[in-house]
Amino acid sequence: MKQNPSVLIWEIAGKLREAGSMGTILGQVLQMLTQAAGCEESALWLLNIKDSRLHVVASVGRQDLTGASLDLDKGIPGAVTRGGKIELIADCASDPRFADIKGPIPRNVLSIPLKNQYDCLGCLQMTDRKDSDFTREDVYICSMAASLIAIALGERGASLAETDSKKVLVALRDLSCKQSVDDGALKQLNLNIYEKETLAIVGESGCGSRTLLRLLHLASDRSAVREGRFLAAGRDMLNAGAAAVDEYHRGFVGYVYPDCPLIPTMTVKENIELATKTSLEPLNAAEALFLAGIQDTAKKLPSQLSPKQRQLVGVARALAKKPDLVLAEEPGEHLSAKAASEVLTALVSGVKKLNATLVIVTHNREIAGIADRVLNLKAGRINSVLINREPKAPAELDW
């Protein structure tokens, strides 16, 4: 363990006693444990007795496991949950259960049952310890953590993900993208974006978040993608023709820029009408401005707008296309806390009224509190995906 074991267990116990969404807390605990153990990936599987399936409630690592589930009588998590015993696989390549796995096989796996005094609630799975094999100390510390998690679950419970019933709107599969001058590269990204969800993408500068957002917008040369697939509403957008890409821009996706570029000689209303001129079934400008709460700006020129109004015009312009997917780059940036909160409120409210999906890229981790899921990128790879059971309203954020 990279951290003093006693300190780690104390910190995990304290985290599990905190107020707030149990799902969010479990994700944070899993991150702490994974980092301390030096593992590449980890997952918390919980048993749903209604359907006798195990569901992932939190994961850390290189792939998006949101919505992953398996039958109780299948897989290593199932065997560990049923038997209630720890399983340590030191060499996965020689284990026949990994023979049919497509893609990289993990080096080693440690699976620990989540047992409290009454039941076995699921399984904690730690994968690919980087520096060496799992030690006895690793097994002991992870077992202690699993017991604390199980006790907390028994006391407070945790709602299981419903993503099995949600439709995937956009899917990225083993996608790698070249690095641009200003943005980081993407490396073998696997990600599902679901209908009607809010997904926040966070990470340090150069992590690849803007590359991902611009790829989703299909605003740059698709040849930048070295390998992988990008599926939107079931269509392969990397190999789609010009007409399909044009249709994607006209009705499927809307983009909210941080600076909202506008034509200075046109009124706000005219700017929105120009942006939606070729859209498939757009809102009229008045409807879009009403959604953003700035109907009184219709006749103003861009030079007459405040910074907050300008960003809200950007929100209105994106919503006016009635898109399925809204992409927002650093919403509320360079605004006061009050103004940023108003921009976020209009954005989230408008997207929900259109029954659309919202993807936000931000360096402000506080903003991620409004999302259903938080994707943390690091060096172009997924570092963790946290499910937020109780997203905050923008007005509740602690700026």
Residue 130 binned pLDDT confidence (cut-offs 50, 70, 90): confident
* Token digits of residue 290: 């009403």
Beta carbons within 8 Å of 176's beta carbon, 6+ residues apart:
185, 186, 187, 188, 189, 225, 226, 227, 228
DSSP string, 54-95: EEEEEEESSS--TT-EEETTSHHHHHHHHH---EEES-GGG-
Whether CATH 3.40.50.300 fits 173-396: yes
DSSP string, 166-189: SPEEEEEEEEEE---SSS--EEEE
Residue 62 binned pLDDT confidence (cut-offs 50, 70, 90): confident
**Measured between alpha carbons, how far is residue 74 from residues 52, 109, 150, 342 in Å?**
11, 16, 21, 48
Q: What is the pLDDT of residue 158?
A: 64
pLDDT above 90: percentage of residues in the chain: 53
Say whether pLDDT at 181 is over 90.
no
Say whether pLDDT at 144 is over 60.
yes
Q: Are 199 and 368 in contact (CB under 8 A)?
A: no
As a 3-state breakdown, the chain gives helix, strand, coil percent values, each rounded to 5, of: 40, 25, 35
- The CATH number given to 5-156 is 3.30.450.40
Across 324-335, average pLDDT: 93
Crossing angle of helices 22-37 and 5-17, rounded to 10°: 170
Beta carbons within 8 Å of 241's beta carbon, 6+ residues apart:
none
Instruction: List the single range of 33-42, 60-69, 333-342 with lowest mean pLDDT.
Output: 60-69
Q: Are 184 and 206 in contact (CB under 8 A)?
A: yes
Q: What is the pLDDT of residue 83?
A: 92
Say whether pLDDT at 104 is over 90.
no
Q: What is the pLDDT of residue 202?
A: 92
Between 269 and 173, whose confidence is greater?
269
The domain locations on the chain are 5-156, 173-396
Say whether pLDDT at 358 is over 70.
yes
Residue 155 binned pLDDT confidence (cut-offs 50, 70, 90): confident
Say whether pLDDT at 42 is over 50.
yes
Instruction: List the single range of 175-189, 283-297, 323-337 with lowest mean pLDDT.
Output: 175-189
Say whether pLDDT at 190 is over 70.
yes
**Measured between alpha carbons, how far is residue 133 from residues 8, 83, 112 in Å?**
20, 24, 16
Across 215-232, average pLDDT: 82
Q: What is the pLDDT of residue 1?
A: 73
Query: Between the ranges 64-68, 116-120, 212-216, 353-357, where is the mean pLDDT highest?
Result: 353-357
Q: Look over the chain and give the mean of its residue pLDDT values, rounded to a whole number.
A: 88
Q: What is the pLDDT of residue 66?
A: 78
Q: What is the pLDDT of residue 79?
A: 93
Between 40 and 102, whose confidence is greater?
40
Q: Are 39 and 107 in contact (CB under 8 A)?
A: no
Taking only the tens place, the pLDDT of each residue in 281-328 is 899 999 999 999 999 999 999 999 999 999 999 999 999 999 999 999
Say whether pLDDT at 52 is over 90.
no
Q: Compute CA 101 distance to the chain's CA centroid, rounded to the nearest angstrom.
A: 25
In the chain, the DSSP E strands lie at 39-48, 53-60, 69-71, 87-89, 109-115, 120-129, 168-177, 186-194, 198-202, 225-232, 235-236, 253-256, 325-329, 357-361, 373-378, 381-387
Instruction: Give the containing element (helix H, strand E) for 308.
Output: helix 307-319
Instruction: Judge if pTM exceeds 0.85.
Output: no
Across 371-376, average pLDDT: 90
CA-based nearest residue to 146, from 45, 21, 63: 45
Say whether pLDDT at 359 is over 50.
yes
**Rounded Cα distance, 285 and 43, in Å:** 46
**Rounded Cα distance, 349 and 128, in Å:** 41
Q: What is the pLDDT of residue 163?
A: 44
pLDDT above 70: percentage of residues in the chain: 95
Residue 68 binned pLDDT confidence (cut-offs 50, 70, 90): confident
The type of residue at 293 is G
Say whether pLDDT at 162 is over 80.
no
